[in-house]
Amino acid sequence: MQAEGIDTKLRGPAVWALVLTGVASFMAALDNLVVTTALPAIRADLGGGLEDLEWTVNAYTLTFAVLLMFGAALGDRFGRRRLFIAGLAVFTAASAAAALSPGIDALIAARAVQGVGAAVMMPLTLTLLTAAVPAARRGMALGIYGAVTGLAVASGPLIGGSLTEHISWQWIFWLNVPIGLALIPLARLRLAESTAPGARLDLPGTLLISGGLFGIVYALVNANAEGWTSAPVLTGLIAGTALVAGFVHHGFTHANPVLPMRLFRDRGFLGINLASLLMFLGMFGSIFLLSQFLQGVVGYSPTEAGLRMLPWTGMPMIVAPLAGILSDRIGGRPVVAAGLAFQALGLGWFAVILSADVSYAAQLPPLILSGIGMALYFAPAANVLMSTVSPADQGKASGTNNALREVGGALGVAVLASVFSAQGGYESPQAFTDGTVPALWIGAGAVALAAALALLVPRKAKDAPTPVSAPAPAAVAPGATDKVPAAG
């Protein structure tokens, strides 16, 4: 009888909403890591230096990060279905433009536009899903959705490597086009429209943080090529820092800021958000270099590199449920801190063993340790975050956390690649190894600091109440399954 009830209640609009939002989130989550194993092929085909490869990754993560909450607010104000379709259309068109890119600059521009589309589309996926699914079956629907997103992240390097090796790197982008073209009319026909009365947009805040982060990341990416004291680099650092400072001031004084700075007065909120930023800084920057190391130095094919990274990126699919049970029993803080410590140890282990002829048997233990650490972090992180704010602030709190993760990923690629460039390069396998080892130590140090900051979270974080608005997940994080409620 109960099984019949479940089947009945998930028919019609609920099923369509789950399928459409799940597939859309799969595409956006996949696009963050699918490009990592294709970087050597892109470099060989389109040319460009290390800075261009950094922007191939960062153009997507940065635009997604700074426009995430703004995209959610646009949907709240002008119609969630309407903006979801618009974001999906932009993402699909930008994917085609990326596949057709005649040069590295065109690819970077297309990736930036992809990030804009994802920033509008992703925060609205679970808003639409939650509205369509009956409350009694919402947990099951969100669980399926989270599993789909996690699968996309775990399989990103493998799918990217397989397409690159057996067809061409362009197909990591062409893959999105038929899917997007099919989803657009179906979303128009099968999803219900909704808005949030009274939703407001914070355009000044969005412009301040967008300009500030672009300036800082631009300076970090170009520092080694142009010199730390060159005019463009100094301008980027100074102007970017000033704009970020203006954004912080705006967050304290504006009536309805995209990011209320008052939230950071809570030490738990401050701790878990700084830990998230540093976690992604160390992790994403390391993946950026290690995915190239496995191909350019060790000699794996793109598919082999993707398969060999699965113990890291795919481990959360196995361990996360156990980590969730553990956090329920002993609290989220020790599980998050332990996960970050394991991730730091894994990166440090990699730095110790890395050499031009390192075997996969030697790589496997740090890959597994890093994957376990990632799972221990992600499983309770959302609940720990929500326990630090009131129900009324959960939407902006979760959006803030996911935006900071994206920022951390962009900074991680920029910072670790800068260290790599200063200490090594692409000239030979040994030069690549010489640059990667100190970069990994920096990544390990960043994640170790994140583990210490996680201890700022109150000792026993209570279970967070159900968010007051529907969430949507981060698109970048390996194993990320926590949600971003729609802003407003």
Which H, E and C letters describe the chain, residue by residue? CHHHHHHHHCCCHHHHHHHHHHHHHHHHHHHHHCCHHHHHHHHHHHCCCHHHHHHHHHHHHHHHHHHHHHHHHHHHHHCHHHHHHHHHHHHHHHHHHHHCCCCHHHHHHHHHHHHHHHHHHHHHHHHHHHHHCCHHHHHHHHHHHHHHHHHHHHHHHHHHHHHHHHCCCCHHHHCHHHHHHHHHHHHHHHCCCCCCCCCCCCHHHHHHHHHHHHHHHHHHHHHHHHCCCCHHHHHHHHHHHHHHHHHHHHHHHCCCCCCCHHHHHCHHHHHHHHHHHHHHHHHHHHHHHHHHHHHHCCCCCHHHHHHHCHHHHCHHHHHHHHHHHHHHHHCHHHHHHHHHHHHHHHHHHHHHHCCCCCCHHHHHHHHHHHHHHHHHHHHHHHHHHHCCCCHHHHHHHHHHHHHHHHHHHHHHHHHHHHHHHHHCCCCCHHHHHHHHHHHHHHHHHHHHHHHHHHCCCCCCCCCCCCCCCCCCECCCCCCCCCECCCCC
Report the pLDDT averaged over residues 347-369: 90
The angle, 0 to 180 degrees and rounded to 10, between the axes of the packed helices 13-33 and 104-132 is: 150
Please tell me the predicted confidence (pLDDT) of residue 344. Answer: 94
**Span of 41-45, 183-187, 221-225, 414-418 with lowest mean pLDDT:** 221-225
Please tell me the predicted confidence (pLDDT) of residue 4. Answer: 42
End-to-end CA distance of the chain: 39
Predicted structure pTM score:
0.76
Please tell me the predicted confidence (pLDDT) of residue 184. Answer: 93
For 244-253, what is each residue's pLDDT tens digit?
899 889 988 8
Report which of 368, 373, 376, 347 is spatially closest to residue 443, judged by C-alpha positions: 347
Residue with tokens 């000792």, as numbered in its chain: 459
Please tell me the predicted confidence (pLDDT) of residue 141. Answer: 67
d(CA 42, CA 421) in angstroms, rounded, equals: 19
Which one has a higher pLDDT value, 444 or 305? Answer: 444
Query: Is the pLDDT at 133 greater than 80, yes or no?
Result: no
Query: Is the pLDDT at 481 greater than 70, yes or no?
Result: no
Please tell me the predicted confidence (pLDDT) of residue 194. Answer: 76
Q: Which are the contacts of 22, defined by CB distance < 8 A and separation ≥ 6? A: 125, 144, 145, 148, 149
Query: Is the pLDDT at 413 greater than 50, yes or no?
Result: yes
Handedness of CA 122, 123, 126, 131 (dihedral sign): negative
Please tell me the predicted confidence (pLDDT) of residue 473. Answer: 37
Contact (Cβ atoms closer than 8 angstroms) between residue 144 and residue 469 = no
The proportion of the chain whose per-residue pLDDT surpasses 90, expressed as a percent, equals: 18
d(CA 378, CA 298) in angstroms, rounded, equals: 30
d(CA 330, CA 343) in angstroms, rounded, equals: 20
One-letter identity of residue 457: V
Residue 373 pLDDT grade (very low, low, confident, very high; cuts 50, 70, 90): confident
Please tell me the predicted confidence (pLDDT) of residue 449. Answer: 94
Residue 150 pLDDT grade (very low, low, confident, very high; cuts 50, 70, 90): low
From residue 38, give the alpha-carbon distance in Å to each of 45, 53, 57, 123, 465: 11, 10, 11, 27, 41
Phi, psi of 300 (to 5 degrees): -70, 150
Q: Which two tokens stand for residue 75?
A: 């949907």
Please tell me the predicted confidence (pLDDT) of residue 22. Answer: 82
For 177-230, what is each residue's pLDDT tens digit?
999 999 999 988 888 787 776 667 788 888 888 888 888 877 877 777 777 788
Contact (Cβ atoms closer than 8 angstroms) between residue 405 and residue 487 = no
CB atoms within 10 A of CB 203: 11
Please tell me the predicted confidence (pLDDT) of residue 138. Answer: 62
Query: Is the pLDDT at 155 greater than 50, yes or no?
Result: yes
Please tell me the predicted confidence (pLDDT) of residue 30. Answer: 79
CA angle 418, 424, 428 (to 5 degrees): 135
For 83-114, what is each residue's pLDDT tens digit?
999 999 999 999 999 999 999 999 999 999 99
Average of per-residue pLDDT values in the chain: 80
d(CA 251, CA 238) in angstroms, rounded, equals: 20
Please tell me the predicted confidence (pLDDT) of residue 475. Answer: 38
Please tell me the predicted confidence (pLDDT) of residue 49. Answer: 78
For 161-176, what is each residue's pLDDT tens digit?
788 888 888 898 998 9
Which one has a higher pLDDT value, 334 or 4? Answer: 334
Residue 146 pLDDT grade (very low, low, confident, very high; cuts 50, 70, 90): low
Long-range pairs for 259-266: beta carbons < 8 A, 24 or more residues apart: 259/69, 259/205, 259/209, 259/396, 259/400, 259/403, 260/393, 260/396, 263/389, 263/393, 263/396, 263/397, 263/400, 266/388, 266/389
Residue 375 pLDDT grade (very low, low, confident, very high; cuts 50, 70, 90): confident
Which one has a higher pLDDT value, 256 or 274? Answer: 274
Query: Is the pLDDT at 442 greater than 90, yes or no?
Result: yes
d(CA 105, CA 91) in angstroms, rounded, equals: 18
